[in-house]
Amino acid sequence: MLTAPHPSSAPANALNFKWPAEGIARAPYRLFTDPEIYKLEQERIFRGRSWNYLCLDVEIPKAGDYRTTVIGETPVIVTRDHDGEVHAMVNRCAHKGALVCLKKQDNVASLTCVYHAWNYGLDGQLKGVAFRNGLRGQGGMPNDFDVAKHRLQPIRTQNFYGIVFGTFSDEIEDVETYLGPDMAQFIKRNLDRPLCVLGTHSQTIHNNWKLYAENLRDSYHATLLHTFYTTFKVNRLDMDGGIILSDEKWHHVSFARRAKLQEAAERGDTLTASA
């Protein structure tokens, strides 16, 4: 449940406010609107000690393939180089911060920023600078300019059963340890075979990221809002199911067992009445 304190009563410091007396089940609306809290979340969660989903390995099968995504608000490029290695880096040119890759996906020999034509390898290393030595002996980069010191900001990656994860942290444990045994086992069981992407669908929702994160953990609405779940017996309240949490309580799996459907009497009564 949410509670909305009067705006004038909210203290200026984002970290200096009291949680409602009812406990953790009542989240203040301020958590979803305060810009200071949002800024800290970007820094401490998305750019902090966490692994983030980037893409599937099969979505960049060939050398030169790339996909763009985000970690929080940070734009990211995921590439496969000519040796078959997967790399991830911030999608901001080291020169002026312009976006380097503008498409959702593509196949390229290298990465070039359209603003000033700085060119990078598929691993993010700077390869070429336009007019580095100036023109006719005039201008150009200073003599101490070192190409090796100007690259796209790297992001640490790990491929876990065909899922490419990325993190800004150098200290975080490997993905399997981070997920915990229960969550990792679900991935292993479902992705222990070659994958084929049949298609994709994306939707942009203009809201605080936590609203969608909370929605994914809200099984209360699923069969009420998404009627195809009940129509095709994908998920119904008269099925066995539940939510499994990891030991750290950071991750979860929601599940329903179609084989254990015990059709409720109320459903039969409803169908009879509507007929």
pLDDT at 48: 96
**Alpha carbon distance 79, 57 (integer Å):** 10
| Highest averaged pLDDT of the listed ranges 14-23, 145-154, 167-176 | 167-176
76-85, Cβ contacts within 8 angstroms, sequence gap of 24 or more: 76/155, 76/166, 77/101, 77/111, 77/124, 77/152, 78/54, 78/157, 78/164, 78/166, 79/111, 79/122, 79/123, 79/124, 80/122, 81/121, 81/122, 81/123, 82/122, 85/123
Parse the chain into domains and list their residue ranges. Answer: 2-46, 52-172, 209-274
Residue 266, pLDDT > 80, answer no
The two tokens of residue 60 are 């960049």
Single-letter residue type at 190:
N
Of 53, 124, 48, the C-alpha closest to 92 is 124
By mean pLDDT, which of 97-106, 128-137, 205-214 is the weakest?
Answer: 128-137
76, 53 in Cβ contact below 8 A? no
More confident residue, 268 or 189: 189
Instruction: Using pLDDT thresholds of 50, 70 and 90, give the confidence band for residue 171.
Output: very high
- pLDDT per position as a tens digit, 4-42: 443 434 444 656 777 888 877 788 888 899 999 999 999
More confident residue, 148 or 56: 56
- pLDDT per position as a tens digit, 126-137: 998 987 877 777
- As assigned by CATH, the class of the 52-172 domain is mainly beta
Residue 55, pLDDT > 70, answer yes
**Alpha carbon distance 62, 199 (integer Å):** 18
pTM score: 0.85
